């Protein structure tokens, strides 16, 4: 893996980190209405199309795993913004945890191969832990 690819992968990890950090864990907040809801829906649909395109690029060997995971995470965050239904929010949070585990595993493999730094592994672990905390909060555990 080239240095440029590694830097891109780390940047994508940072995007995933940023996206999950800004999601709202408060299930008591009302779902968006009107124009905001329409824009959020359009954003979600656009991110779904992007994920399809990224997956096609991945299958043809033109993009990295981390790009797919980042696209999935962005889509999940967009879906989370559109719902206040507890069961739906929990299901989305569970999928975010799965993605964060995938990023952590990938980063650990890169570290084991001498490509990533220990700080990258620690960041990925911290973000996976944050996703698990948000899931527990969504379930109403440990509030």
* Residues in the chain with pLDDT values less than 50: 20-28
Residue 63: its pLDDT value, please? 87
The 3-state DSSP composition of the chain as helix, strand, coil percent (nearest 5) reads 80, 0, 20
Residue 132: its pLDDT value, please? 97
**Rounded distance between C-alpha atoms, residue 88 and residue 27, angstroms:** 11
Residue 141: its pLDDT value, please? 82
Q: Which long-range contacts (CB under 8 A, 24 or more apart) does 84-87 make?
A: 84/27, 84/29, 84/30, 84/31, 86/27, 86/138
């Amino acid at each position: 893996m080239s240095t440029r690819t590694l830097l891109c992968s780390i940047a994508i990890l940072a995007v995933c980190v940023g996206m999950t950090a800004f999601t709202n864990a408060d299930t008591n907040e009302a779902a968006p209405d009107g124009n905001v809801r329409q824009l959020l829906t359009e954003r979600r649909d656009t991110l779904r199309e992007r994920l399809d395109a990224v997956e096609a690029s991945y299958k043809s060997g033109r993009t990295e795993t981390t790009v797919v995971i980042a696209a999935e995470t962005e889509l999940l965050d967009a879906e989370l913004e559109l719902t206040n239904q507890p069961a739906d929010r929990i299901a989305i949070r569970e999928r975010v945890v799965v993605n964060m585990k995938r990023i952590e595993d990938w980063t650990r493999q890169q570290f084991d191969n001498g490509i990533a730094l220990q700080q990258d592994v620690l960041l990925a672990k911290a973000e996976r832990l944050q996703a698990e905390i948000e899931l527990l909060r969504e379930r109403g555990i440990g509030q």
